Structure 1
Amino acid sequence: MAAPAIELDPAAPVPDRAAATAYVASVCFKHGPPRLLGAELEWLVRSAWRPADEVDPAQLLRVLGPHAPSTLRTSVPTVTGAPPPSPAPRAPEPLPAGSTVTVEPGGQVEIATPPLEDLSALVAAVQTDTAAIRERLATEGLTLVDRAADPLRAPRRILRVPRYAAMEAAFDRVGPHGRTMMCSTSAVQLCLDAGEGSQVTARWQALHEFGPTLVGMFANSPAAHGRRTGWKSSRMAAWLSLDPDRTRPPDLLGDDPALEWAERALGTQLLCVRRHGHWNAPPAVTFGDWIDGLGGLDEAPTWDDLDYHLTTLFPPVRPHGHVEIRYVDQQPGGEWAVPLALITGLLADPDTLDHAREAVAGVRHRWVAAARHGLEDAELARAAARLVDLAHASLAATDPDLAALVADVAERRTLRGRCPADDPTVEPGEGELGPAVENPYPDPRDPVSPGGDPT
């Protein structure tokens, strides 16, 4: 059970670890009846005529027009030499159904819906705003990519803002996969109310337990940077390798997720420190170290620094008052609605949730196997078939159209042990990719497989 939210002066210093732990535990889960849903969808962007060309930030700024985020507006002068933006730039306009637009470091376009009351309204909003984005991009020959990792282009950061420069520097100390994640991947994210009482813990645990099965079902990134990787989800492989302490699933799922999350947050290294014109963080210094005066930082952290630190944690499921499910690859065409519907259906009632947890009990730690093999892993394939049955039965009573879409994808792929990565080439240039490289995502620590994860 989360503690009541603690109200604090954002500019005041954090006095000690105990106070920081209590604060994070009080804000990470907002208790209440689970009513609202939201979605965040990212897409890679490319030229329809020259798919291997890099994204031009000035062109992206033009086509997004009044919807362009401030990070893109402030980045374009760095590239083009244009005059600096005004001190108080106008706020971006929402899309027709209310979604806001952001741009990721490599030029990926993301829409984030407002919180909505039901799944049908959420899907309708995403359809409307996706159509608006596609129409804008098409005016200059740009298109959205139907893969979750860029199969052709090397990662290149086009946003020149302190946050992303600091992230890049921190990830580069670990290896090359941070740049891949930042600049060359895209996902479907579902945002849900945390629930109330003991329901919070059950939903939190279940969303992690479903993770490997859903990663395998929806894996859609078999190539990156001009080569096949040998993984069904190169996106998830990159995420799990880039900074395991920041991105791995929890080792244990106990009965006090708020406290566990708070302790993890304080034990994670700093990614950004917003001081002195650049935001680079000293290496190997956690937020808890900063509170304790370690790491050579001159100023003590404030509560605002702690809030910002929480935005730099990227696990597969993240508590942010509500809960963000972040482990699903972007899907081809309009099939992004399937994982949204599936997860919502599985959480619809306690009996369905219990049966779904039973179905995945034997594969709940198989994150690596799911990313590498998809549903070629027989145990994951069996779990996926059972989840589809449960979700379809739940959805059939409330949304027959979405239930039919789930059934169609299940028939074409899931029940045949296939995922989108197994489909024939769908993107221009994929047919000319080089052969698979041997395990481009090695991690001898295997941080995502407590108890072992056979591959």
Structure 2
Amino acid sequence: METDRHALRADIARRLFRTDAGVALPDRMGLELELLPVERETGRVVPLEGEDGTKRLLAQVGLTFNWTVDPLGIHHAPCGCRVTFEPGGQIEISTPTAPTVDRAVDCLRAATDALATVGERWGIALEAVGFDPRTPLSHTRLQLDDPRYRAMDRHLARFGPAGARMMRQSCALQVNLDLGRDPFGRWQAANRIAPLLTALFANSARAEGQETGWRSWRAAQWRMLDPSRTGCVGPGHDPVREYLAFARAADPFLEATAWTEAGRPTAAWERHLSTLFPEVRPRGYLELRSIDAVPLEWVAAPLVVAAGLLYDPRSVARVRDALPFPDEADLGAAAREGLKDDIVRAMAAWAFECALEGAERLGAAFIGGAAFRTALDYYERFTAEGRDLSSPTASVGAQAG
């Protein structure tokens, strides 16, 4: 019905793209880093449960560093970070919204250092990699007994093993950015840089003990999943209409309940939106989902790139003018070849240079000297040489803390 479509469209415009936000606040930054907990001696992934499991590890971290746990089982660090588990037992650290890139990195470091300190005593390492490089898929299972994850697991199994790999073995770095005064401009630019972020920070070339042939095996899984809920939603001419069409086309696997009632979106609609996984997801802010987990020493680099390209108006305009809206072939090339592809390498290097210029215009009040130097160092050591974190000589800082 047209009334239902209008209600859903209005919800996407208001809640996901914040078109009625009024006066824009100063831009902020948030991030979510997923880490793989493994036994130092064997490389075996540490399970959630058990005497030496990660649930007990986090309990000990809480006792040692004065963390708290809420009724939902979410751990809260004094710096404001929230620590949770992913379906395969990965540990996710989510920073609070920060006023600067440096503050976001410092907060992440504080929480990660606490985990690593206790992990060291327990013989547990926290690996910052995009994909478990050792464990056969057949040796994994869902470690969170949650109805949502069970339903997702069943649905994605229809498309092959990529869903199980993604849920149980992958780790990402998600960068969260404000929509600002020009939400659609930032949305369009964010989608255009998505494959370049994958290529620049690829960190998952190995799986099950061997080379996969992909620079980012994590990103590869998303290319093999349900195409109705992945990819870049575009081409960006009318983001609200396009995202509504994207959402309505995706098969609702959680429940078969009406999305509107009395002309208003229902909770079922909100839950359905949470099962969509585009490269850039609007959530009242922009969630950039194209980056492999990276070692803590380099975390500032993708943050500077994202902010320099999307928070500086001149950079946004340059990206929208210079880069095409990506399709599945572009996303696949970035994941498979990365910077080995001459075209991807040229575009990625240009984007990184543009980001550094944008970061300088944003100034030290938002991107401090330490974060900027990290990004510049990454560009010189990796991007300018056509290398990424999956390169054989890029093993420095593979563990958090």
What range describes the TM-score normalised by the shorter chain of this pair?
A: 0.7 to 0.9
- 238, 249, 274: which is aligned to 2:232? 249
Unaligned ranges ≥5, structure 2: 63-69, 397-401
In 2, Cα distance between equivalents of 1:307 and 1:263: 15
Aligned to 2:391: 422
1:42 aligns with 2:34: yes
Contact 1:395–1:402 under 8 Å retained in 2? no
Aligned to 1:64: 58
> Does 58-67 or 97-106 show the bigger shift?
58-67
Contact 1:67–1:92 under 8 Å retained in 2? no
1:337 aligns with 2:300: yes
- 158, 179, 193: which is aligned to 2:164? 179
Matched residue SS, 1:203: helix
- 165, 171, 183: which is aligned to 1:200? 183
In 1, Cα distance between equivalents of 2:44 and 2:394: 16
The structure-2 alpha-carbon separation of the partners of 1:402 and 1:425, relative to structure 1 and needing over 3 Å to count, comes to closer
Matched residue SS, 1:147: coil
The structure-2 alpha-carbon separation of the partners of 1:219 and 1:354, relative to structure 1 and needing over 3 Å to count, comes to same
The structure-2 alpha-carbon separation of the partners of 1:148 and 1:90, relative to structure 1 and needing over 3 Å to count, comes to closer
* Residue 142 of structure 1, CA deviation: 1.1
The structure-2 alpha-carbon separation of the partners of 1:53 and 1:202, relative to structure 1 and needing over 3 Å to count, comes to closer
* Residue 259 of structure 1, CA deviation: 2.5
Could you state the TM-score of these two structures normalised by the residue count of structure 1? 0.76
- 284, 288, 298: which is aligned to 1:321? 284
- 83, 88, 94: which is aligned to 1:101? 83
In 1, Cα distance between equivalents of 2:170 and 2:43: 16
Matched residue SS, 2:298: coil
In 2, Cα distance between equivalents of 1:423 and 1:412: 13
After superposition, what is the alpha-carbon deviation per residue over 1:409-452, rounded to whole angstroms, capped at 9, x for unaligned? 1111101111111233749xxxxxxxxxxxxxxxxxxxxxxxxx
In 1, Cα distance between equivalents of 2:223 and 2:104: 29
Q: Superposed, which structure 2 residues align to 1:83-98 within 5 Å?
A: 89=71, 92-98=74-80
Contact 1:105–1:164 under 8 Å retained in 2? yes
Please provide the CA RMSD for this pair.
2.6
- 114, 130, 136: which is aligned to 1:132? 114
The AA in structure 2 aligned to 1:62 is: R
Aligned to 1:159: 144
Contact 2:151–2:254 under 8 Å retained in 1? yes
The AA in structure 2 aligned to 1:408 is: D
The AA in structure 1 aligned to 2:133 is: P
Q: Superposed, which structure 2 residues align to 1:245-284 within 5 Å?
A: 245-254=228-237, 256-273=238-255
The structure-2 alpha-carbon separation of the partners of 1:272 and 1:325, relative to structure 1 and needing over 3 Å to count, comes to same
Unaligned ranges ≥5, structure 1: 1-14, 69-87, 274-280, 282-286, 294-300, 428-455
Contact 2:388–2:394 under 8 Å retained in 1? no
* Residue 54 of structure 1, CA deviation: 5.2
Contact 1:47–1:141 under 8 Å retained in 2? yes
- 122, 141, 153: which is aligned to 1:168? 153
Matched residue SS, 2:390: helix
After superposition, what is the alpha-carbon deviation per residue over 1:213-236, rounded to whole angstroms, capped at 9, x for unaligned? 111111111022333210000000
The structure-2 alpha-carbon separation of the partners of 1:405 and 1:158, relative to structure 1 and needing over 3 Å to count, comes to same
Matched residue SS, 1:401: helix
Could you state the TM-score of these two structures normalised by the residue count of structure 2? 0.85
The AA in structure 1 aligned to 2:121 is: T
Contact 2:279–2:288 under 8 Å retained in 1? yes
Larger Rg: 1
After superposition, what is the alpha-carbon deviation per residue over 1:343-367, rounded to whole angstroms, capped at 9, x for unaligned? 1112232112222444434977611
Aligned to 1:19: 7
The structure-2 alpha-carbon separation of the partners of 1:330 and 1:159, relative to structure 1 and needing over 3 Å to count, comes to same
Contact 1:213–1:384 under 8 Å retained in 2? yes
Matched residue SS, 2:125: strand
Matched residue SS, 2:277: coil
The structure-2 alpha-carbon separation of the partners of 1:50 and 1:224, relative to structure 1 and needing over 3 Å to count, comes to same
The structure-2 alpha-carbon separation of the partners of 1:36 and 1:292, relative to structure 1 and needing over 3 Å to count, comes to closer
The AA in structure 2 aligned to 1:414 is: T
Contact 1:34–1:192 under 8 Å retained in 2? no
In 1, Cα distance between equivalents of 2:310 and 2:206: 32
